[in-house]
């Protein structure tokens, strides 16, 4: 079985052969971010597929935030490129949960936290501890936190 990092490298080689500038530059930057993460710290190590997915998710989030900033600044061409890079990276990530699926998981966690005695806005931490392992890699932290706040508030 090939690792996610090997798949990225193979896709990079294919993109270079096809002269796909967008794909090749995006994959190069992502592989560089993975390598940087591998050599961070005192000793070099090989990242697991889960850790590689976290790096890819972080890179995709950077692209979305940059696209928003470019759009607000009136640089629509740069915003479109960042969006395209984000979409390209999303293909390497697990399918994201829909809002309904996320709300269902959060609602069950809120009930579980209430049963344990945590209620109101102070239960945020307890609910997040229950929800985060269940949605790891399938929903961004900001979306999860917003859903938890919404359900705890009303």
pLDDT (tens digit per residue) in 7-54: 999 999 999 999 989 999 999 999 999 999 988 888 888 888 888 888
Tell me the H-state helices in the chain: 4-17, 21-39, 49-72, 76-90, 99-115, 124-135, 141-153
pLDDT at 151 (0 to 100): 76
Q: In the predicted model, what is the mean pLDDT of residues 89-100?
A: 81
The candidate with the shortest Cα–Cα distance to 12, out of 90, 77, 88, is 88
Residue 70 and residue 110 in one domain: no
- The model's confidence at residue 90, banded by pLDDT at 50, 70 and 90, is confident
Domain boundary among 41, 56, 91: 91
Question: In sequence order, which residues have a C-beta less than 8 Å from that of residue 106 and are 6 or more positions away?
Answer: 127, 131, 144, 147, 148, 151
Q: How far apart are CA 137 and CA 143, in angstroms?
A: 12
Give residue 146's domain range.
Answer: 99-153
Residue 119 and residue 142 in one domain: yes
We report the CATH number of the domain holding residue 58 as 1.10.1510.10
Domain boundary among 91, 113, 133: 91
Report how many domains make up the chain: 2
Residue 140 — left, alpha, or beta (φ > 0 → left; ψ -120 to 50 → alpha)? beta
Give CA torsion, residues 109, 110, 112, 114, to 10 deg. 160
Residue 18 and residue 80 in one domain: yes
Q: How far apart are CA 119 and CA 123, in angstroms?
A: 5
Specify the length of the chain in residues.
154
Domain boundary among 74, 91, 108: 91
pLDDT at 145 (0 to 100): 80
Residue 112 and residue 141 in one domain: yes
We report the CATH number of the domain holding residue 148 as 1.10.10.410
C-alpha angle 27-31-33 in degrees, rounded to nearest 5 = 115
Residue 125 and residue 64 in one domain: no
Question: In sequence order, which residues have a C-beta less than 8 Å from that of residue 121 and are 6 or more positions away?
Answer: 149, 152, 153
- The model's confidence at residue 1, banded by pLDDT at 50, 70 and 90, is very low
> What confidence tens digit (pLDDT) does each residue in 100-154 have?
887 888 888 877 777 776 676 677 777 777 777 777 777 777 787 888 787 777 6
Residue 73 and residue 140 in one domain: no
Q: In the predicted model, what is the mean pLDDT of residues 74-84?
A: 91
pLDDT at 28 (0 to 100): 93
Residue 109 and residue 77 in one domain: no
Residue 12 and residue 85 in one domain: yes
Please report the DSSP string for 94-105 in residue order: PPPPPHHHHHHH
Q: Are 27 and 14 in contact (CB under 8 A)?
A: no
């Amino acid at each position: 079985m090939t690792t996610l990092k090997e798949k990225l490298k193979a896709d990079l080689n294919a993109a270079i052969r096809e002269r796909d500038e967008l794909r090749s530059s995006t994959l190069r930057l992502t592989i560089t971010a993975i390598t940087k993460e591998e050599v961070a710290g005192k000793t070099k190590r090989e990242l697991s597929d889960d850790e590689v997915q976290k790096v890819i998710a972080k890179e995709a989030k950077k692209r979305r935030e940059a696209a928003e900033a470019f759009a607000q600044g009136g640089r629509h061409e740069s915003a479109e490129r960042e969006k395209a890079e984000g979409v390209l990276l999303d293909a390497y990530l697990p399918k994201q949960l829909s809002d309904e699926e996320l709300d269902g998981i959060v609602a069950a966690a809120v009930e579980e936290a209430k049963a344990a005695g945590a209620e109101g806005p102070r239960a945020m931490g307890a609910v997040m501890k229950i929800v985060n392992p269940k949605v790891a890699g399938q929903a961004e932290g900001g979306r999860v936190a917003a859903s938890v706040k919404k359900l705890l508030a009303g």
